[in-house]
Structures are given as structure tokens and as C-alpha cells.
């Protein structure tokens, strides 16, 4: 057999095993036809037929330093040769160094990290800390949000993935966050949207009873819900409300953190510091599963002489932490966060705005860094979306197909195309991605 024949045979075998034995998340199983990925490097993935795709999804918006970064791969290999795993009650050099590096990029007064396996667990444990710290139970989150698939996290989630899992018993209350394009407050300007969204949040706090609310959990920039950058002053307003009512402010940085918005943490754009910071994804680009909570000194002190009732067998796993150390060091040494800011400012932002001016199906583009959403609509005046809330449409299917046919792996959700390449995507690849999106939008322009 030739190499291509071997690859094709292995691809068929991989696909057959997947369909026979793998149960996929968030899917009706019978309808699935998953792409077989054979390898990846940098901003590209390669399928079993040898076709390369420019990865403008960063998988699930987590390969912030791209695929197979040599420094991170080498760190994982070296750690595996020395110590693959050790229980979390023991001290480990990679765990400690990962925690030090993470806190070095957090605000002043954050010196402790509790490690989890992923973002959902990080949000679960952050809420547990807030409840124990305050002695209260309720948690406030926005409707347009995603916080994970575990019990508390899915109840905190505001998008339709919550509906089949929500029994109304988790102590979660939802409110409307700011989103000027589809304002719940009939606002006409960002200033009005900010003011009215904060007034709405204050009213929810007062009506729910501030003395019952442990935490407000916010994605600093909501991710899969639409990449809605908060208007100036909003995060400061949330911080002020939390201070006024003694509520813990939890910043969910699982998707937006570690360079994605052109800053180490997305809340930095709002000029605030939360009380707890949850992270995962970009901390090591998902090379080995890792998440966690960066804990403010005030909340850490609550558990100085009081047992924290929680833990995980794989908390601070050495392979995952070695990957995090290498990832953060690479991001620092290579200026990856600054590069992401430049790509957003000089390439993606202007490029997407130019596409919006030429394609009638684009209602709005918005974002920061390498974290952008293209809102697709049937009519710009009515803002009727290309697909229903919580669903998809033939037009969105055609958009995805047009992107793939041209060699781009897209990220779509409902009626939106998210433009989320790696933070270190090259200038040439960023431009090529925009060219493919331009062509794909041309295909669906007439399908409205």
C-alpha cells in the first residue's frame, strides 16, 4: 500500500470505530458524520485524506498557541519520562510553578490556585467557595452564557443547552447582560445599554434579596453565546454592586482568558478585579486537560483554618501542569498575547468590518483580539437571524460547507460564525481566513 492508501484505510477504521463505540456530546448520535483528523500543526489540521484545513475554530476555542507547539510537546514528553502522575496531596514542581505563573498574571492579591480538570469543574468549585465564604446560596448569571456541562454549571448556563438539564433547584437566577445589537432594554447607545443593564441587575438583586446571593458569575466576554464585549463601565458597575451587597464576583475566563482577547484575562479590558477567576482551555491549549480557580487572598483566608470540602484525583496533574508551564512561558517569550491583540486590531477587526459592508447577510461583527463573532441575519432592518435561537438552518449548513470546501475549519453557533483562530495565527493565515470567509459569505448571501 502507498502512504495515501494506508492513511485512507486507517481513516476508514477510525471512522468505523467512532460510529460503533463513541458516544458524542451535545448530539443526536444517528445523525453524526464526524471528520477524521489525522494530524495537526500550528494553525492547521489534516484529515484522513491528507486535506489541510486552516483551523479558525481553535477546536473548541482552546488551542490558543496552535497545534503541536514544540516547546509544549517537549515539556509533556520530558515530564512523562520523569513522573506521569502523583496524587494532589503531594507537592510537585510543575504544579507549583504552574500556579506561580498563573498568579503572576492575575491582579494583585491573588496568590492561590485550586486546580481542576476543566472549566465546568472550575465553575462548580468557584460557586462552592463563594457559598461557603458568604454563607449564602443563590447565584446570578446571564441568559446568554455558557458555564459548563456539570450539574451546577449547566444550571448557571443561559443558553438552550440548559433547558433539558434544568430542574429549577440549583439556586441559580438568570438576568439579562448587556448586548446592544439585540438590546433587552431598548437602548440606542452603548452608554444607555450599560446604564440600563446595570439598573436591571440591581433590581434583580433587590427582588431576589441581596442577603441570599452568594455570587454573580460572568463570562468576562461571553463565548459560545455570542462574543458580546461588555460596554465601557459595565464590569466596573458589576464590581460596585458586588461590593455594595457583599456578593462574590466570579469571572469566568475559561474561554476568554490566556490571550484570547489580546489580554491575559479578558476582565482587564474592563479595568476591574473579580474575587475568583475560573480558567481552563487556553492555560495549556488543551494539550492535557486542565482547569482551575485563581483565588483572592480574602477568600483563601476563609479556608486557612477551615476545611475546604472538595477535591479531585487529578487536581494539578503533572502532565497538565507541565504543559501549562511551557504554554505560559512560550506565550511570554514569543509575545503571543500581544500578537493576538495586534491581529484583532489590525487584521480581523478591520477585515470583518469590510466584509460586513459588502455582504447583506452580516448584521454585525464584534470582538477583541482573536475572539470575534459575525452575526448573520436574513434582514438587517428586522435583524431576523439566519437560524432560530437554539437551532440551525440550511443556510448555516451551506456556510459551513463553503468554508470547508475552501480549506477552512469554521466555528458556528446558531446564526453566528465565530472567527477564533489561534492567538499566534500568522498574518498571512489570518488574511487567508478572511478571504475564505468572504467567499463563503458570497455563497450564502442569496440564501436569505
Give the 3-state DSSP-derived string for the chain, with helices as H, strands as E and coil as C: CCHHHHHHHHHHHHHHHHHHHCCCCCCCHHHCCCCCEEEEEECEEEECCCCEEEECCHHHHCCCCCECCHHHHHHHHHHHHHCCCCCCCCCCHHHHHHHHHHHHCCCCCEEEEEEECCHHHHHHHHHHHHHHHHCCCEEEEECCCCCCCCHHHHHHCCCHHHHHHCCCCCCEEEECCCCHHHCCCCCCCHHHHHHHHHHHHHHHHHHHCHHHEEEEEEECCCCCCCCCCCCCCHHHHHHHHHHHHCCEEEEECCCCCCCCCCCCCHHHHHCCCCCEEEECHHHCCCCCCCEEEEEEHHHHHHCCCCCCCCCCCCCCCHHHHHHHHHHHHHHHHHCHHHHHHHHHHHHHHHHHHHHHHHCCCEEEEEEECCEEEEEEEEECCCCEECCCCCCCCHHHHHHHHHHHHCCEECEEECCEEEECCCCCCCHHHHHHHHHHHHHHHHHHHHHC
Tell me what pLDDT residue 445 has: 87
Tell me what pLDDT residue 379 has: 93
Tell me what pLDDT residue 3 has: 78
Specify the fold of 71-334.
3.40.640
- Written as tens digits, the pLDDT of the chain (448 aa) is 787 778 889 999 999 999 999 999 999 999 999 999 999 999 999 999 999 999 999 999 999 999 999 999 999 999 999 999 999 999 999 999 999 999 999 999 999 999 999 999 999 999 999 999 999 999 999 999 999 999 999 999 999 999 898 887 789 999 999 999 999 999 999 999 999 999 999 999 999 999 999 999 999 999 999 999 999 999 999 999 999 999 999 999 999 999 999 999 999 999 999 999 999 999 999 999 999 999 999 999 999 999 999 999 999 999 999 999 999 999 999 999 999 999 999 999 999 999 999 999 999 999 999 999 999 999 999 999 999 999 999 999 999 999 999 999 999 999 999 999 999 999 999 999 999 999 999 999 877 6
* CA-CA-CA-CA torsion sign (34, 286, 303, 109): negative
C-alpha cell at 360: 447583506
Same fold, 35-68+335-447 and 71-334: no
Question: 35-68+335-447: which CATH number, 3.90.1150.10, 3.40.190.10, 3.10.20.740, 1.20.1740.10?
Answer: 3.90.1150.10
Q: Where are the domains of the chain?
A: 35-68+335-447, 71-334
Counting every residue, how long is the chain? 448
CA–CA gap between residue 82 and residue 390 (Å, rounded): 47
CA–CA gap between residue 23 and residue 43 (Å, rounded): 27
Tell me what pLDDT residue 5 has: 79
| Residue found by looking up cell 500550528 in the block | 42
* CA-CA-CA-CA torsion sign (86, 92, 94, 100): positive
Amino acid at each position: 500500500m502507498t502512504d495515501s492508501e494506508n492513511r485512507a484505510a486507517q481513516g476508514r477504521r477510525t471512522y468505523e470505530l467512532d460510529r460503533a463505540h463513541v458516544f458524542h456530546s451535545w448530539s443526536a448520535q444517528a445523525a453524526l458524520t464526524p471528520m477524521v483528523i489525522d494530524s495537526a500543526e500550528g494553525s492547521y489540521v489534516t484529515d484522513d485524506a491528507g486535506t489541510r484545513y486552516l483551523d479558525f475554530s481553535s477546536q473548541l476555542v482552546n488551542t490558543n498557541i496552535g497545534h503541536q507547539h514544540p516547546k509544549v510537546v517537549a515539556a509533556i514528553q520530558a515530564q512523562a519520562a520523569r513522573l506521569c502522575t502523583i496524587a494532589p496531596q503531594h507537592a510537585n514542581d510543575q504544579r507549583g510553578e504552574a500556579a506561580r505563573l498563573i498568579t503572576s498574571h492575575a491582579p494583585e492579591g491573588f496568590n492561590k490556585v485550586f486546580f481542576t480538570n476543566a472549566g465546568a469543574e472550575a465553575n462548580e468549585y468557584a460557586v462552592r467557595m463563594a457559598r461557603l465564604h458568604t454563607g449564602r446560596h443563590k447565584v446570578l448569571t446571564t441568559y446568554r452564557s455558557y458555564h459548563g456541562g456539570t450539574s451546577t454549571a449547566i444550571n448557571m448556563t443561559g443558553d438552550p443547552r440548559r433547558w433539558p438539564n434544568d430542574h429549577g433547584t440549583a439556586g441559580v437566577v438568570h438576568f439579562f447582560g448587556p448586548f446592544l445589537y439585540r438590546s433587552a432594554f431598548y437602548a440606542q447607545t452603548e452608554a444607555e445599554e450599560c446604564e440600563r443593564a446595570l439598573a436591571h441587575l440591581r433590581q434583580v438583586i433587590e427582588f431576589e434579596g441581596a442577603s441570599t446571593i452568594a455570587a454573580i458569575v460572568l463570562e468576562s466576554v461571553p463565548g459560545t453565546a455570542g462574543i458580546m464585549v461588555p460596554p465601557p463601565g459595565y464590569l466596573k458597575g458589576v464590581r460596585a454592586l458586588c461590593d455594595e451587597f457583599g456578593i462574590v464576583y466570579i469571572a469566568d475566563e475559561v474561554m476568554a482568558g490566556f490571550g484570547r482577547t489580546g489580554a491575559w484575562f479578558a476582565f482587564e479590558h474592563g479595568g476591574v478585579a473579580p474575587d475568583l477567576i475560573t480558567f481552563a482551555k487556553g492555560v495549556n491549549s488543551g494539550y492535557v486537560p486542565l482547569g482551575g480557580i485563581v483565588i483572592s487572598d480574602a477568600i483563601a483566608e476563609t479556608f486557612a483554618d477551615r476545611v475546604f470540602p472538595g477535591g479531585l484525583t487529578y487536581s494539578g496533574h503533572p502532565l497538565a501542569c507541565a504543559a501549562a508551564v511551557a504554554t505560559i512561558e512560550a506565550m511570554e517569550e514569543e509575545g503571543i498575547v500581544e500578537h493576538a491583540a495586534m491581529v484583532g486590531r489590525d487584521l480581523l477587526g478591520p477585515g470583518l468590518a469590510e466584509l460586513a459592508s459588502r455582504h447583506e447577510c452580516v448584521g454585525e461583527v464584534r470582538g477583541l483580539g482573536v475572539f470575534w463573532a459575525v452575526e448573520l441575519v436574513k434582514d438587517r432592518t428586522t435583524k431576523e437571524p439566519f437560524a432560530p435561537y437554539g437551532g440551525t438552518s440550511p443556510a448555516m449548513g451551506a456556510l459551513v460547507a463553503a468554508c470547508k470546501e475552501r480549506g477552512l475549519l469554521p466555528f458556528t453557533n446558531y446564526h453566528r460564525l465565530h472567527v477564533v483562530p489561534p492567538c499566534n495565527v500568522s498574518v498571512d493565515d489570518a488574511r487567508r481566513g478572511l478571504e475564505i470567509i468572504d467567499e463563503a459569505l458570497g455563497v450564502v448571501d442569496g440564501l436569505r
